[in-house]
Structure 1
Amino acid sequence: MLRALAVDDEKPLLEELLYLLRSDPRVSSAEGACDATEALRRITRALESGPEGPDGIDVVFLDIQMAGLTGLDIARLLAGFARPPLIVFVTAHEGFAVQAFDLKAIDYVLKPVRPERLAEAVRRARAQLGDPPQPADPTACPALPDPPAASARVPLPAPAAAVGTPTAPGPRRPAPEVTVADRTSDQIAVELGGVTRFVAIADIAYVEAQGDYARLHTDGASHLVRIPLSTLEERWAARGFVRIHRRHLVALGRIDELRLDSGTTSVRVGSAELQVSRRHARELRDLLTRHATG
C-alpha cells in the first residue's frame, strides 16, 4: 500500500488529485500540501521518521509550476537524500519532461488528470517499491519507453486547452469537474473523472467560491465547477439565489435560520452555518421577510 503526498498550489486541482488518490485501493493514505514550503516540511518529517515510520511517504505527486520553489526545485533537493520518496510529476506543461526524467521521476502525468492515467502512475510506484505485480488493467495506459536523452523530444500528448478556447483536431481529454453547457435551464452539468453529471439547480443549497471555481453544495454532496461565483449569481438571481458574502451564494428557500449575535449575522443552511457580510445583511433580512410572507 502506498503512502502519498500530493503537492499543488491550486486548491481545487489539489482536491481533485487527492480525491482520485484516495479512491484507489492501492493507496493507504494521501495527504496534500498547497505550496513548496509545506511540502518540504512534510517530506523532511517523513525522512526523519524513516521509511517505516508513522510519517513515512512513499511517493510524491508533484506539480511543477508553483509560486516560490518549483516542483523541479523540490525534486533536486530530494535527490541529495539517500532514500528519498519516489517522484511523479503532475503538470499541465509537457515541456519539462526531459528535466523531470533526468531527476529520476518515475512518471510524468499531464493535467487534466485522467483516473486511468493516474492509476498507471500508482502501478509504477508500487512496482518501483517492489510490490508484487497486479493483474493487467485494461483501462491503464500503456507503459512509456525509457526516458530519452536530454537532447531528444519526449512524445507526450498535448495538454487540453483551457475551457472555451479552440483546440487542434484530435481527442480532447476532460478537465476535472469543469462545467460544460447546461443540458436544460433547470440543470448544470459538471464533470468528475471523465463522467458528466447533471445536477438539478433546485437541489443546490448554497455555492462556495474557490478562486476561479465554485463548489455546489447539495444535500450530502458537493460538485466543483470552473465558473466564477459572480457568474452564477447573475445567472441564478431569478431562481432565488442571493449573495450573502464574497464567498457564498445561497438559495433563499434553503435558509433554515437567520442568527444575530453581537452584531454579526449568519444563516443556517442544513448543517452548514454561513457568515453574512455586513453589506448583505440588511438586504438578506428584507428578502427573507418578503419570502416568508409570500
Structure 2
Amino acid sequence: MTALRVLIVDDEPLARARLARQLQSLDNCELVGEAGDAEAALAQVAQRDPDLVLLDIEMPGDHGLNLARRLAAREYPPAMIFCTAHDEFALAAFSTDAVGYLLKPVSAEQLGEAIAKVQRLGGVQRRLLEREEKAQTGRSRIKAISRRGVELLDIGAIRCFVADSKYVVAHHDGGETILDESLKELESEFGERFVRVHRNALVAVEYISGLSRDCGNYRVELDGVAERPLVSRRLLPSVRALLEELV
C-alpha cells in the first residue's frame, strides 16, 4: 500500500514534535513536512502535495479554519484532521470537510484511529493512485539554463510565468529564471495549478492573495514575490470568480 503523505501544521514546535513521533509508530504514513502558520502550510502543500494535513486552529496569522477552507477548495484537496486544544470549533471544523477533530494532548491511539479512517476513504485511495500516475508521467521540476548553468525549478515554488519578449520568465521564491518554453506549452502541462490572467501571464492559484488596481488596470497580488501580473479585461471576470472561490 502506498504510504500516506502527512503534513503537520502547528505553531508550537513541541506539538509538532509530538505528532511527528506518533506518526513514526504508524504503518503506511510518511511525514513530508511541517509548518508553523497558514502561509507556510500553503507553500508546503503546493510543494509537497500531502495526502493528509494535521492542523491546529489557533495560530499566528490566518486562522486554522480559514486554512482548511482554502485547502478544501483545491482541485485535489488533502484530507484534514484538526489537532487542537479548543473544543468549541468542532462544528465549524467539520463544515470544512475535515475527517477528524482531536483534542490535545492527542494520544497515539486517537491519532492512529483517525488516520485509519482517512486510509479507508475512497477519495483518498483514488488520490494516491492519481499521485502515482502523475509521478510516472508529469514533471515536478522544470529545467532552465542560466548564468549559473542548468537549474531545476520546483513547480511548487513558482508563483507565475510571465512572457517577456521572446522568453518566458518564471518568478519563484528564489528569484527569476528565464525558460525556453512557451506559455502555451506550460499552460497545457500545468493548467491544473496555474491560471491564465493575461495573454502574457500564468499565475499559480495557490499563491494568489488578491487583486489590486493600478492606473485603471488590475493586477494579481502573489504571496512571496514582488511581481504583480496584469489582468486582461477579458479574463478579469474569471479571475474575480476564482478569488471568490478561494476566500
| TM-score of the superposed pair, with normalisation by structure 2 | 0.47
Query: Higher helix share goes to which structure?
Result: 2
| TM-score of the superposed pair, with normalisation by structure 1 | 0.40
Structure ranking higher on relative contact order (CA contacts 8 Å, 6+ apart)? 2
Question: Highest Rg: 1 or 2?
Answer: 1
Query: Higher strand share goes to which structure?
Result: 2
